[in-house]
A and B are shown apart, each in its own frame.
Chain A
Amino acid sequence: MDPEEVEFLGEKHLVSIVPSFTSESVHLIQGDYGPFRAGLPIRVPLWVAVNLKQQKRCRIQPPEWMDVDTLELIKTDEKLSRVFTKMPSEFYMVEVKQLLGCASDDIPRADEIRTIVKDIWDIRMSKLRSSIDLLVKNHEMYAAVDNLTMMEINSMRPLLPHALDHIYRMKTFQPNVGSQSQTMSFSTHSRVSTSFQS
């Protein structure tokens, strides 16, 4: 899956905006938003917010957690905890990227937020790498991945499941069946990549 597709999914999350215009409701297929009153905050999907912001028709209210102090706390928790802590949003990376990308003027201390979120991401990624190492070394055949966000899961997508696939295949491989099974297993091997193109 492309990171863009994860972003696509994350763009459905609601964020608060303060519109600078007055208009009746927008009736989208996925729900009604509005009516818009200039100056009154309203919650809309992220993609609507970004679009409005690009047209300079609104101001974005950052989500509660998108704040230097809160993020510092999350970062400390993440550092101290051995397991993955629950992130304030399933798509925190997407929201940070999109909102800071288009509305850094609406979010106080945007640069600091960017750095802290990157730190949190790095801590989690290094945790993820050591968990994967453990997982493979212990020959586990399944793993709980609670609290991992979609972007994080996606970052190990092509590699980890593929590696476990190979381990499984080596475990189940029976060398004495004859040359037939060898050619078969070779052809299964070359095929596997097809299931991981996405």
Chain B
Amino acid sequence: MDEDTDDILNNIIDDDDDANIQMTPAELIQKMEEIWINEKFAPELLPHEQEIVDLVLSQISAMEDNVETLPSADFKKGFYQLEIDRIRFVVTSYLRQRLEKIETYVLHVLKEDEEREEAYLSEAEQQFALKYKEALEEHFDNATMFYPGLPFEDWKSNFVRPNMNSFVFLKAKSNVEGVVVDRGQGDDNEIVDIKAGSQMLISYKGVSDLIKKGDLRLI
């Protein structure tokens, strides 16, 4: 049954011209956990990882099909089921995390995505964000119409943004040199090098690109 799942995964990966080629299922799950944790601790919405999520979901459903064929007396069935549940938890937690950020920062997220070449929202997330924005606007318009004279257009231009200066814990996957730390007193910046494997507490702003590139991961 393992060969079956491997075959399925290989086929999927072969079809996919993306950068993430040649991953074993174990590496795939590892990657899924990493993007889950990154999304959890990053203040802003990170670029979507739809390919990874799709691959993981297809692994889960292949496994589920296999589990169905096992006799229910087999005690190993419990492990397969348990593993499926564990992985499913990671995926749902990741997607929920993203939805929560989209809801909180909906106007900001949509605007950023328009201005950026690479979309951070997946297609489904974009649809959700647009609908959510529509509903929000309608609701606010209805609510503010009762009180004439309110500056009710303000919320549209002055919208909720993630706090990019918030502090995060991270671990370096490779050596990183020249991270700029803004000390918040004018030009008084500091340059920090981070060695592979070391852990830091630092402001998110200086490292956001390195996290998206994958040199650092949040913990």
Contact = CB atoms under 8 A, between A and B. Distances in A.
Chain A interface bracket (under 10, 10 to 19, 20 to 34, 35 or more):
35 or more
A50 B33 CA distance: 21
Given A27-B2, A141-B190, A165-B167, A172 B82 contact: no
B135 interface: no
B contact residues, range: 35 or more
Contact of B29 (A8, A29, A146, A162): A29
Contact of B169 (A30, A145, A171, A198): A145
B199 A148 contact: yes
Interface stretch (B46-54, B120-128, B138-146, B155-163): B155-163
Contact of A161 (B26, B83, B87, B168): B168
B185 interface: yes
Given A26-B79, A164-B167, A195-B163, A141 B199 contact: no
Interface in A1-55: 1, 8-9, 23, 26-32, 47-48, 51, 55
Contact of A165 (B5, B87, B165, B219): B165
A50 B54 CA distance: 30
B59 A29 contact: yes
Contacts of A164: 167, 201, 203
Contact of B201 (A8, A55, A161): A161
Given A29-B26, A29-B63, A29-B87, A161 B166 contact: yes
Interface string B181-212: 11111000010100000111111000000000
B132 interface: no
Contacts of A172: 184
A57 interface: yes
B97 interface: yes
B31 to A, nearest CB: 12
Contacts of A81: none
Given A29-B5, A29-B87, A195 B166 contact: yes
Interface string A133-158: 00000010111111110100100010
B26 A171 contact: no
Given A29-B5, A191-B163, A142 B202 contact: yes
Contacts of A150: 219
Contacts of A144: 198-201
Contacts of B198: 144, 146
B5 A161 contact: no
Contacts of B29: 29-30
A141 B181 contact: yes
Interface in B59-93: 59-60, 63, 75-76, 78-80, 82-83, 86-87, 89
A168 interface: yes
A171 B200 CA distance: 21
Contact of B203 (A28, A51, A168): A168
B19 interface: no
In the A-B complex, list the 4 residue pairs whose CB atoms are closest, starting with the nearest.
A27-B2, A161-B167, A171-B184, A142-B202
Interface of B: 1-2, 5, 25-26, 29, 33, 37, 40-41, 43, 59-60, 63, 75-76, 78-80, 82-83, 86-87, 89, 97, 100, 104, 158, 160-163, 165-169, 181-185, 190, 192, 198-203, 219
Given A27-B5, A157-B169, A191-B161, 15 more contacts: A28-B80, A29-B29, A30-B29, A48-B79, A146-B198, A146-B199, A148-B199, A153-B169, A160-B167, A161-B166, A161-B201, A171-B184, A171-B185, A188-B163, A197-B100
